[in-house]
Amino acid sequence: MAANSKITFVNSQHAPVEVACEQNLSESLNSSNSPVLFGCRTGVCGACVVKIHSGIEQLDKMSAADEEVVLVMVDDPTAVRLGCQLYPKGDLEIEFVGKK
């Protein structure tokens, strides 16, 4: 396993960032280095919904509570996750689709 994960932002001007593997994404990203906006950071507000374009296998399975929030926030939940609940174990390509 790599020591860092490269997070690439699809459809964004933000440059990719390196974060520590298995560290909570919301602890690594902020408004200066990421287009992803975080609200509550606990998985209940849905502000940080992201679509995973590649690397979903680098993530743990989504919890039932997270899945319930995602289903309320988007029409097509395929490869969609809450950014604040991600602990990447490898490289990801994500697109912010949450509240703007």
Reported as half-sphere exposure (CB side, CA atoms, 13 A), residue 39 has a value of 11
> Beta partners for 65?
none
Residue 52 CB neighbours (<10 A): 21
| pTM assigned to the model | 0.91
Over residues 1-50, the pLDDT tens digits come to: 569 999 999 999 999 999 999 999 999 998 788 999 999 999 999 999 99
**Domain spans, the chain:** 4-96
* Two tokens, residue 37: 């906006």
- Residue 90 scores a pLDDT above 90: yes
For 4-96, CATH number out of 3.60.20.10, 3.10.20.30, 3.40.50.620, 3.10.180.10 equals: 3.10.20.30
Q: Cα(58)–Cα(3) distance, rounded to whole angstroms?
A: 13
Dihedral pair phi/psi, residue 76, rounded to 5°:
-120, 100
